[in-house]
Amino acid sequence: MNIALSGGKVITPFRVLNDGIVVIENGKITNLGKTSEIKVPKDCKIYDIKGKTVCPGFVDLLDHGGAGYGFADDSVESIEKISKYLLEHGLTTVLASLYAKPEKLLLKDLRRISDYIIGHPDSNIRGIHVEGPYLNKKLKGAMNGNYLWKPSVESWNKMWEASRGLIRIMTIAPELPGAMDVIRAAAKQGVILSIGHSMATYDELENAIDNGVAHVTHMFNAMEPFHHRHPGIILGALLHNELKIELIADTLHVHPAVMEFLLKLKGASGIILVSDSIRAGGMHEGEYEFADQKIYMKGKRAYLPDGTLAGSTLTLNMAVKNMVETAGAKITEAVRMASLNGAKVLSLESRKGIIAVGKDADLVVMDDKYDIQMTVLGGEIVFQKK
């Protein structure tokens, strides 16, 4: 399908182009500019998006599910339902996230999702983020402590084989015995190692960086608080520019003032907005399940019976809104944190995360309330609000 999105505000995401037009042919962006200056090919269907904003499709590196389904469900239908739900919220590139389970079950999850990705190359599900299973029990968050594994290269190799090489990110606690061997093995295979659910000291974090860690999972959450005499992950993440940090910008996991603080210290290039969404995302209040544990959702907050936050119900369009409206981010910065930065982590920035000629036509159209009006994936309109 050849289409043109005409008359809207285009976030490239480095600048704002008012009254812009994006021309899409054969899945690629073929022209971009002012509507008065661009001649649209005759075979392009023109969509008038005046009063709306078009930006690169969102990239979510940490997403466990939504719409009542989870990637850890023993069902291909669940993957399809989540994929559709995420497209309706502007997610054109997603890592299916898995939590710790007993070995046999986690390997089965990895095989099922990798089979789906290989069989659906045009899907928005592009890889896997394993949040664990090598996590510190003392900071397990909503993870099931009974399902955490002791780090070993042998068990890692089983996971890697089961995933068909589609594990793109792994969250790990580097202070655990054997974890550094796993980090080195995974780094050699091109996996992005992310520190999380960890009690690592500052020195342990620096050693982890030297051995391949380049990422921090959901900043401030499941890590020890900042201490001026006993620095740990938080200080390391703020000081080391080689570490990119994930931020759940729902205003619940991190206070808006702290979100603003992060933006000032790390800059828009150092923050990646993630949802950490679970099956309760997009659903009504009530009782749900996560890692064989009962969770509750009230308002937009999902939590265990003891009050521990259990993932989120966030979508990245709302994360963009929160960064702009509560944390003082420019719209270009917020969109960059929700699109290009994640694409860079996955080494996709030459094709995704930027609106420019030659890039993949993965685009999102939002109204002035940041609600998704249209999602374009590979040049095809995969969602349009009625």
Number of H helices, E strands in the chain: 10, 21
Q: Which helix (H) or strand (E) holds 319?
A: helix 316-327
CA separation for the pair 75, 190 (Å, rounded): 28
Q: Where are the alpha helices (DSSP H) in 93-239?
A: 103-119, 153-162, 179-188, 202-210, 233-239
Q: Where are the alpha helices (DSSP H) in the chain?
A: 76-87, 103-119, 153-162, 179-188, 202-210, 233-239, 256-266, 316-327, 331-338, 340-345
Torsion of CA 234, 170, 79, 64, to 10 degrees: -20
CA separation for the pair 277, 274 (Å, rounded): 8
C-alpha distance from residue 83 to each of 30, 52, 89, 383 (Å) = 27, 24, 10, 11
CA separation for the pair 297, 281 (Å, rounded): 9
* One-letter amino acid of 167: I
371 given a catalytic annotation: no
Using alpha carbons only, give the angle 3, 365, 351 rounded to the nearest 5 degrees.
70
Q: How is residue 38 written in tokens?
A: 């661009």
Q: Which helix (H) or strand (E) holds 63?
A: strand 58-63
Q: Which of 276, 306, 362, 368 is catalytic?
A: 276
* One-letter amino acid of 347: S
Looking up tokens 């544990």 gives: 293
* Pairing between β-strand 372-377 and β-strand 53-56 as defined by DSSP bridges: unpaired
Question: Is 100 exposed, middle or buried, given 0-12, 13-18 or 19+ CB atoms closer than 10 A?
Answer: buried
DSSP conformation class of 309: B
Catalytic residues: 276
